Chain A
Amino acid sequence: MMTPKPLSTSSNWGKWLLAAFLVSILIRGFLQIPEIRGRISPDFPWNDHIHQVRMEYGKVTEKLQRVEANLEKLKNDGRPQPLRMHLINKDVVSITRSLRFMDARLASLNTELAISLLQAPSIQRASLNLHLQEVKALQADCGNYHRNLQEVSQKAQYFQARLQTKPGRF
């Protein structure tokens, strides 16, 4: 029968497990650097830009929902709440900035992809076309968000004006 031994920090498996973890970071990190990634996948620059826009899109969605919820609370409560107004204004500014970036990035991607599509060999066209469709879909979504932003901004401006002129009840 085997005698149980206490777990020892000097055991070899622990040492090599640590080394293996560090080597895995080393390999994964090396494969992630832009020079290597660009060689492995020629679509890397497009993918990276589209990924950034998608991330920003997620943030904008979240903030728009938050602004709408805050406006609703403000309306139902009937009393001016400077702190809530402050949060709404902060989110509106942040959404405006994000949308401006997304518009510019998507327009730039659209142009670049369209040019690349004309010059690309037929084997790459399918994937470039796919990216272009994705960009166009995102541009359409951004258009909707611009309209949403305009609506919530108008409501926010209304409440802001009321807050400044009539500090009693809305």
Chain B
Amino acid sequence: MSWDLRKSDPLFLALLALVSFLLLYNLDYRPFWQDEAETACLARNVLKFGTPRAFDGINLISQEEGREAGADHLWRWSPWMQIYLTAGAFYLAQPSTAAGRLPFAVLGILCVCLTYLLIKRHFRDLLWARLAAALLGLSVPFLMYSRQCRYYSLATILVIGSLYAFRMDWQQRWGPALLLLISFGLLFHANYLLFFTYGAAFLAAAILLYHRELPVKRTLLLAAGVVLVVLQGTVFFQIQKQGGMFDLTRIASNLQCYFQDLFQFMAPLPVIGCLLLYWLWLAAFPGGRERLQADREARFTMFLGLIVLFNILIISLAPQGEHRYLIHLYPLCAMVLGWAVCRVAAYHKVSAVLLAFLLLFTNWLHLLPVTRLNIQLRPADNSPYMLTYPNFPLKLYLSELVYGYPDVNRNLIDFFQAQARPGDTIVTTYGDLPLQFYTSCVVFGGLQGRLPEAGELPKFVVKRWHTRWNRRYDLTKSEAFILGLRLAGDYEPLVLPFADEEFGNRADPYYHRFVPDAPPLNQLIIYRLRSYDDAKTIKHLQ
């Protein structure tokens, strides 16, 4: 189906309106969880100090026992782009949950637009463009990640930007070449792990499939430009310091998790299997190279498929296997799946309609085959109303948006906003950063490694139900500190009628709950110092 480029597309506009609603509605329905709060707290410090400082004189922002900043307290653990973007939003609209999430949600909408434009402009296939945009814009994991005050949608749009530029005449014109350079340069400043893994995968796939279209001089010039942009950041962010976190024993399990995540949430195994066979037939059989050269669409989707494959192989070397490191690959999967539906449509329209329905509105094609093969990944503490179970994902997503969710961080924040005085000390084993952002208390513990002075008892202690260990598999300092307190004698336990869930509004489809469990498996317990009303600090009497 071809279309005049200048004509507006009412169906796409309707889709865009729907995606905008899904991304922007009720943005502050749940408070920031730990990772989002890290960005938000650093952004607030940017407004205060001009730079992202990990310590503001009261609270320490850290999830790595203080390794993120040096003696000057300047944040050097991750790039600053997401922090400054959030700071800009806070500057314009005051620090709040909605303001922090808004720029990233808008970028999520732009990701859908750019995906549509990429296909429409470069392949002039309207059905494919619409399908790719719809598959991305209605993908619940993508929507959830794009609503987070974090780099996810930022990195994703830069990835689509790089593909857009690559499909343009960058070999001859400077504009697209510059766009390619900017996309990669900024990707580093969005998240350097994604830059290294996606960049290497992109390059390898381009050499394999487009080597005739890579002019040596310009390619080297662009690579040198990217290296220049990246080099100062590599030194500044002390990336070599994080090399010590690499855990070779995790590579196999990371690979397994990433592939399972790919099949469960991004691209279903049966479709991937058929595409692999098709691509192999195209490339490996006699005359395959010519066929591949002639079929631009097949070559491009194979290119995207190779990027996804190489990216997963490379990212499995990183210390943590997290779904967020695949989020920038969602548009690539949407484009490949959209193309697969188009190919099926050319073969059999009824099947194409069925396939499109399954991909757009259900997760059944993703989950049923992996369940049958016994390779499904479900967390231990699981509910059937999650994306790890056959469902209508959009229905779950809308249920949460419309009816709300008893968020663990919200319940803690509400408690401390009502019960604590400014300057009161809290020690918690996790969720310290949301408390720092939303309350005026001095918050210790979490994964920051900072604890109250020896002998000083905190006013409040939150021993979360889920125990936390550090990267060396020792109990975190806050867990060990609380074990050393006389909770039974010095503190009064307050059992709140809410579940003590592990994370809160974490977007990872493996963990995210849309509907609360009834009854909850555990309850939030806050310990309040018994002499809280009498004294400000009390020496611990052993």
| In the bound complex, CA of A96 to CA of B344 (Å) | 48
Stretch at the interface among B212-220, B300-308, B380-388, B436-444: B380-388
> Is B473 positioned at the interface, with any CB of A under 8 Å from its CB?
yes
Which chain A positions have C-beta within 8 A of B310? none
User: When the two chains form their complex, are residues B381 and A29 in contact, meaning their CB atoms are under 8 A apart?
Assistant: no
A97 within 8 A of B: yes
Closest to A27 in B: B364
How many A-B contacts at CB < 8 Å in the complex? 89
Instruction: Verify B390–A32 contact, CB threshold 8 A.
Output: yes
A29–B249 touching, CB < 8 Å: no
- C-beta contact mask, B505-522 vs A, less than 8 Å → 1, else 0? 000000000000001011
Using A18-B348, A92-B473 as known contacts, say yes or no to A108 and B365 having CB atoms under 8 A apart. no
For the complex, give the distance between the alpha carbons of A55 and B270 in Å. Answer: 25
Report chain B residues within 8 Å CB of A19: 348, 350-351, 354
Which residue of the partner chain, among A10, A32, A96, A101, contacts B381 with CB atoms under 8 Å?
Answer: A101
| B368 close to chain A: CB less than 8 A | yes
Which one of B385, B466, B473 has the highest number of Cβ atoms from chain A below 10 Å of its Cβ? B473
Chain A, residue nearest B391 (CB)? A33
B467 within 8 A of A: yes
Instruction: Report the bound CA distance from A22 to B350 in whole Å.
Output: 10
Q: Is B358 an interface residue (CB 8 A)?
A: yes
Q: Which residues of B contact A9 (CB under 8 A)?
A: 347
Which stretch (A83-91, A116-124, A128-136, A142-150) binds chain B?
A83-91
**Which residues, 16 to 54 on A, are CB-close (under 8 Å) to B?**
18-19, 21-23, 25-26, 28-30, 32-34, 37, 44-45, 48, 52
User: Given A23-B354, A34-B384, A34-B385, 13 other A-B contacts at CB below 8 A?
Assistant: A10-B347, A18-B344, A19-B348, A25-B364, A29-B364, A29-B390, A52-B378, A52-B380, A86-B249, A86-B473, A93-B473, A102-B380, A105-B381
- Give residues in B with beta carbon < 8 Å to A: 247, 249, 270, 344, 347-348, 350-351, 354-355, 357-358, 362, 364-365, 367-368, 378, 380-382, 384-385, 389-392, 466-467, 469, 472-473, 519, 521-522
24 contacts between A and B (CB under 8 A): A10-B347, A15-B347, A15-B350, A21-B270, A22-B354, A22-B358, A22-B365, A23-B354, A25-B365, A28-B368, A32-B368, A34-B391, A44-B384, A52-B380, A52-B381, A83-B249, A86-B247, A86-B249, A87-B249, A89-B473, A93-B469, A97-B466, A97-B467, A104-B522
What 8 pairs across the A-B complex have the smallest Cβ distances? Answer: A29-B364, A34-B384, A32-B390, A22-B354, A89-B473, A15-B348, A18-B351, A19-B351
